[in-house]
Structure 1
């Protein structure tokens, strides 16, 4: 006898059929006749229920096997779970550590390849309410018995991109300003530096450093392309890099260090008008501040922008790839450290510039991820006040992002995209009429 697709309408007789189908006919009397378990009750049964009175199964093998069948049944019929109460009865379900002032309502939409699609309404503060995403773009991740939603939140990703554009332009403009104020080499010779004073100049080393950076960026973009939660990673990359570069703007503006090497052709560039400065800033912005693209700047020493990029990308690669990918992690660290060494070998920065850039970038990265992964910022009003963008970007991310990969251009996603476009076009025509 074929059982109905909607498990919530199963009767005790149909539960009896299911028990026989999965090989537990011996429990029919106990479960169906004695305790009258129907479809709704069956969905909420857990291993703990099987162990405890009144069922109190005695054999561990039976408990584990029947518990596994019940879990498989819940996943198979996930589309019929309509209310939060059903989801909360999952084994070891963790309600995402949402505090008492937060109301969350979840509705299971469908199940695909072990992940259930849901529609979610989350009301915790205005920042979390401001960015909504279509049902098909939300995933439930089942790991360690937890149900976790990772919403791509395209609107927030766009805001992080605009934040990054602003930070990069401000950095470029600041580099133009500090170039105007670069100290005269005749009056202010290079400062004593333990590394620069003992390591001979390698003229082509700076380009090798940028080559290391490009290799790391290529590795990172490949990971980003296939990572299932790429939009969360993009937001974090933009957020961290933008914040560190804005800090760099302050440090290189307030203190002008002397040119670190006599070989550098650096002298004050007098841009008399704001228009000239903006034009030069756009040139630096377009060239990415790299000598490989023909950009040459002076005075932006405290602290090294190249080291920021090398260190940040290295940490992103090691964070968002499995721990067992030792070769990739070793290669990433090698490019990071050699890139920093080549900057010093080219005598383009003082040693302190490299040390501070590495320390600040790595600490900001680690602190950001510690707060995001533990969600401890939810319990600190101070963090939400001092780091509003962080709270805004991370308020809907339920902890540590799992390293899961997928082909980003699946047939289903392309079909969904065309459906959305068709619906949008239809709605536009209706509104115009």
Structure 2
């Protein structure tokens, strides 16, 4: 006797078993109805992911697909009941199967998230029916499901590509060296303080100088650096994190070289005692650049520079570290995020309070650093743009480093060191 499909949500296990028999899946009656007590309500909520994964773990792909299609037909005929239960067909069946069609996007990239097939940031959606006809539909965007299973699937697609991380390290290493050399050239061109006094600045003119403030700004930067190094050590995708940090730091400091070299601002305060200084031949300049390079340009290491004002390198470093700490830690780590932002803001305040930079130096540094960080990560999390011509032209380092990173990097942590063999023997 054929099973009626009205009131599926009220079906008993026996009625579900009858439906499975009618659909030709009698071999799964024992598993679904006897062992797992599947009734009508749970049948409507059943998904292909449930069929594939534990505790069901069906092993025959053809049966999984056919049973998924049968469930889809049943759910469509009971659409009202699904809505009453707070479910939608898209919650249980891949979007392509909902319409009984196969979706494709010419020249674009498709990905699967927990059984949902999506085009990320596509501009055009093409539906290809069984007969070959094609219709253009509205654009569809993928959003990553925030459950643990999605993060595990996504994590498996992230290749650390250590060789690229090594290249990014060399890149930022060379950029820092080039920046140090430009700082030497800029020091030779610093304007005479007697001819060019400090420029009017609303903050510097309003707040008296605090002599120890610049050391405190560098201390804030060191604390942020230690926080990031600890996160980097424990993060599962540490290679990608470090590669991104090197790529962004190198790019921002290259921009800083351009602004420093293009325009020499007058010294922001009489206390700096800056004057134009000539280092002689090229070898003398290289030696001075090596001294700045090895000391990381910090006054705590005894490095004193002049003329490198537009824009503030200290603000770049502090802000970049803050953004990496807050981006690559879970959203509920509120204390870590608060500490990071407090260090960032206080570091900026101390730089200005020390009268080591003009306000515009700090503002531009903060703006460029934050915009570049957000621009980079927006592109990295949107695969549709990773191979675009615009990205390759305007951001070649991004296109090279991120071409094989498929989507957002999940914040997963692990112990980086394997247990010694002796300890493994004693433990297990």
Q: How does 1:20-169 map to 2 (within 5 A)?
A: 21-23=35-37, 39-44=60-65, 49-52=70-73, 91-94=115-118, 142-143=149-150, 147=154, 149-169=157-177
Q: Given that residues 44 and 90 in structure 1 are in contact (C-alpha distance below 8 angstroms), is that contact kept between their aligned partners in structure 2? A: no
Query: 1:179-209 CA deviation, whole Å, 9 max, x = no partner?
Result: 1111111111111111111211111110000
Deviates more, 1:283-292 or 1:321-330: 321-330
Does the Cα contact within 8 Å between 1:229 and 1:401 map onto a contact in 2? yes
For residues 76-110 of structure 1, give each alpha carbon's deviation from its aligned partner in whole angstroms, at most 9, with x where no partner exists.
xxxxxxxxxxx9796225588899xxxxxxxxxxx
2:209 is equivalent to residue 190 of structure 1: no
CA contact (8 A) 1:261 1:348 kept: yes
> Is contact 1:96-1:398 (8 Å) kept?
no
- 1:221-255 CA-partner distances (Å, limit 9, x unpaired): 11111111111111111111110000000101111
> Within 1, Cα distance between the matches of 2:360 and 2:115?
53
The alignment partner of 1:263 has SS state of helix
Q: Which moved more, 1:41-50 or 1:227-236?
A: 41-50
> Which residue in 2 is equivalent to 1:333?
341
In 1, Cα distance between the equivalents of 2:266 and 2:180? 20
Find the residue that maps to 2:279 and give its secondary structure.
Answer: coil
Query: For the aligned residues, what is the CA RMSD?
Result: 3.9
What TM-score, normalized to structure 2?
0.69
SS for the counterpart of 2:348 is helix
Give the structure 2 partner of residue 120 of structure 1.
none
Alignment correspondent of 1:392: 400
Q: 1:265 Cα shift?
A: 2.3
Q: Work out the CA distance in 2 between the residues paired with 1:319 and 1:197.
A: 36
C-alpha displacement at 1:147, in angstroms? Answer: 5.0
User: How far did residue 21 of structure 1 move?
Assistant: 4.8
Secondary structure of the 1:348 match is coil
Structure 1 residues 17 and 249: CA distance shift in structure 2, 3 A: same
CA contact (8 A) 1:179 1:268 kept: yes
CA distance in structure 2 between the partners assigned to 1:335 and 1:96 by the alignment? 36
- Structure with max Cα Rg: 2
Counterpart in 2 of 1:312?
Answer: 320
The answer to whether the aligner puts 1:180 opposite 2:188 as a matched pair is yes
Question: For the Cα contact (< 8 Å) 2:182–2:257, is it kept in 1?
Answer: yes
Gaps of 5+ in 1: 1-11, 27-36, 65-86, 100-140, 416-433
Q: How many positions carry a matched residue from both structures?
A: 339
TM, length-normalised to structure 1 = 0.69
Confirm or deny: 8 A CA contact 1:220 1:316 kept in the other structure.
yes
Aligned equivalents of 2:363, 2:222: Cα separation in 1: 21
